[in-house]
Amino acid sequence: MPLVRIDMLKGRTPEQRRIIADVIYDAMISTLNVPQNDRFQIISEHQSGELLIDPTYLGIQRSPDAIIIQITLNEGRSVDLKRAFYKAVADGLRDRAHMRTEDVFISLVEVKKENWSFGNGLAQYAT
């Protein structure tokens, strides 16, 4: 059900991009109860100047390697689950992709279940 968009500056290898995507997917499964095989991710690379991320907002020192992760998902998860997810992603990217946790910006966009169609022109989750 989640749709993940990952925005970053150009320059990472295909392997690095895959590790970033895998970390996010693994964290969704382990903390947000996303089922296996529910993987829909878009990785977009941008030229310098096309990705504007404030380097000091809220006192967090971000580098030019900062990424933005936006996830559209069904509404209803608790704040505690979301906090666990944010931490799992930041820690996983630090450990597996050698990224700074300060460089991980995450935004969750919650929608009602009827706002999805996974194919065949059907609203599979609508009740």
Catalytic positions are 2
Distance from CA of residue 19 to its chain's centroid? Answer: 12
Q: What angle do CA 20, 24, 30 make, to 5 degrees?
A: 140
* CA neighbours closer than 13 Å in the CB half-sphere of residue 64: 9
Query: Could you tell me if 89 and 23 are in contact, meaning their C-beta atoms sit under 8 angstroms apart?
Result: yes
Query: Could you tell me if 44 and 5 are in contact, meaning their C-beta atoms sit under 8 angstroms apart?
Result: yes
CA-based radius of gyration for the chain: 15
Structure tokens at 121: 């022109």
